[in-house]
Structure 1
Amino acid sequence: MSEILIKIDSDRSISDVFQDNCAALEANGFQPVTTHSLKDSKVVFVLGGPGSGKGTQCKRIVERYKVTHFSAGDLLRAEVASGSEKGKELEETMKEGKLVPLEVTLGLIEDAMKRSGDSPSFLIDGFPREINQGLEFERLITPCCVVLSYECSEEVMMQRPLERGKTSERADDNEETIKKRFHTFKESMMPVLNYYDKEGKLRKINDGL
């Protein structure tokens, strides 16, 4: 049985007193704080073209599982909204439907992971957009455990962002930019999907309904 009143002799060194404090607390069920390394994290990459529904599905996954979700695109848009010099450069790149420099995207994702409150699992939506992003992420942070790839027709992927653009006020939710994003997605995604397919980590999901 745990004791309610525990007397601790504090006429000693700080370290000795602290050790007795810890012993008293742990005897009553307290657990020490453990520092979680990003290297030990479980990471799921979520891929799909614009309007493929990956963001919606991520929200539903978070409701069921203990996982921290963030979108690479949302992190970039937040940087744009900050009005920083980096944000202004990113805005022009995103309007053209081009890929943002690797070190920028990777830095924003790593910062978000570190701010997550010691989360053990991450769902990263819209990343990697090219094979070098994935390889560098795995080299510097941790390998992913699975890659979810949402697939649907271009007709559906065009319709959804245009409908969203009526209320989202996103700079890239317009027909011209969406077409550019399609082109960039097709060019950059096949090597990524092929790589993770060979690694046995790719799971394809039809989200065209």
Structure 2
Amino acid sequence: LLNTVQASCPLRRKAPHDSLLTGLMYYRPEDPISYMEMCLQKVRDIGGPEKVQWDTFLSRNLPPINGGQGKKTPHRAEGLPAPQMRRYERLPPIQSQFSIDSDSDMTESSGLIQEYDVFDPNRERPKIIFVIGGPGSGKGTQSTKMASHFGFICVSVGDILRKQLIHHASSDRKWELIAQIISKGDLAPPETTIEELKQQFINHQDATGFVVDGFPRDIGQAFTFEEQIGSPDLVIFLACSSQRLRQRLERRASLHGRPDDNAHAIDRRLSTFKQNLPLIVKYYQDKGLIARFDADREEDSIFEDICCAVQGLLFPNGLGVQGKL
């Protein structure tokens, strides 16, 4: 349903898209079409899509927006180095992009929605490898080892979001709501995930490649990434049985107690994965980018096979390898 909404809704980009998707994920209405019609009417009532903020649809009784009243002047974080590239600047930290004037009024700075280049257009784009698979399939382990082997930067979407939740969930309304969504086993809003990924790429301008662990998690994220950044160079798919995934998640929950490893969230995450996986795999398979590996094995055997595949597909001339098997 959310994928259909993303494809058909006229409020598709940036804040309107993020706001509508967040409302759908938060309320989970029994009649999503009626909910969308209500949201569209609200857009007309407040003066058009440019007036939509990320949490416009989270309250049915918000007062009309009155110009820029209550907005704080956007500011850039102090101490950041001067930008080195011609066409873009490093984004300020995420906490600088939002200001909370009251419990019911969160405003976005213009820096969040402006277009910018993630990579220097005058240099060759770094290699980008996605690692997908069910929760507990070993994505984090294999991504870390692969990045070290090839001299790439490992970016874990899950770890990034969890760190943001730890630092901001108690004081920032946006992250408080995202924490509630994730604790239920649902996915964070796609625009939030994409912006966090962009920030990681911008922070490592000298990187020769990135291994992105746990992305994309639905087809909408794949579309948005390609639209704003481009296609990955390779997608590693770690295939693992549902029974093995559940065993690993339950064992991890007993050892580490992650908020998204509770019993209800495990069921929800496995269900979401099964629902979203076929479209993601087909999308990248049609592009010739999928490399599938049996993840019901010892991690060293899986890693050896992955390295051989990456070496052959991305570095057929033997370039790029930093480590040894």
Which category describes the TM-score, using the shorter chain as reference length? 0.7 to 0.9
- Show the counterpart of 1:187: 275
- Show the counterpart of 1:103: 191
- Show the counterpart of 1:68: 153
- Show the counterpart of 1:80: 165
CA distance in 2, matches of 1:120, 1:43: 9
SS at match of 2:195: helix
Pairwise CA distance, 1:117: 4.6
1:133 matches 2:133: no
CA distance in 1, matches of 2:205, 2:175: 25
CA distance in 1, matches of 2:256, 2:196: 22
Comparing 93-102 and 143-152, the one that deviates more: 93-102
- Show the counterpart of 2:127: 42
CA distance in 2, matches of 1:70, 1:168: 20
Residue correspondences, number: 176
Pick from 210, 219, 237 the counterpart of residue 122 of structure 1: 210
Percent pairwise identity: 31
TM-score norm. by structure 1 comes to 0.79
- Show the counterpart of 1:12: none
CA distance in 1, matches of 2:262, 2:244: 14
Q: Is the 8 A contact 2:147 2:210 kept in 1?
A: no
- Aligned residue type for 1:110: K
- Aligned residue type for 2:226: E
SS at match of 1:123: strand
SS at match of 2:261: coil
- Aligned residue type for 2:166: A
Comparing 83-92 and 151-160, the one that deviates more: 83-92
Comparing 65-74 and 135-144, the one that deviates more: 135-144
- Aligned residue type for 1:165: A
SS at match of 1:172: helix
Structure 2 unaligned spans of 5+: 1-83, 86-118, 298-325
Pairwise CA distance, 1:138: 1.6
SS at match of 1:40: coil
Structure 1 unaligned spans of 5+: 1-33
CA distance in 1, matches of 2:206, 2:167: 25
User: Which digits, 9 at most, give the CA deviation of each residue in 1:66-99, with x for residues without a partner?
Assistant: 1101111111111111123222111111111112
Q: Is the 8 A contact 1:79 1:86 kept in 2?
A: no
Pick from 152, 160, 168 the counterpart of residue 248 of structure 2: 160
- Aligned residue type for 2:256: S
Q: Is the 8 A contact 2:132 2:237 kept in 1?
A: yes
SS at match of 2:259: coil
- Tell me: higher relative CO, structure 1 or 2? Use CA pairs within 8 A at least 6 residues apart: 1
- Aligned residue type for 1:64: H
Pairwise CA distance, 1:156: 1.0
Pairwise CA distance, 1:204: 0.7
Where does structure 1 differ by over 3 angstroms across 4 or more consecutive aligned residues? none
CA distance in 2, matches of 1:48, 1:196: 13
Q: Is the 8 A contact 2:218 2:276 kept in 1?
A: yes
Pick from 137, 144, 154 the counterpart of residue 52 of structure 1: 137
TM-score norm. by structure 2 comes to 0.52
CA distance in 1, matches of 2:235, 2:128: 9
Pairwise CA distance, 1:63: 2.5
CA distance in 2, matches of 1:109, 1:164: 25
- Aligned residue type for 2:203: R
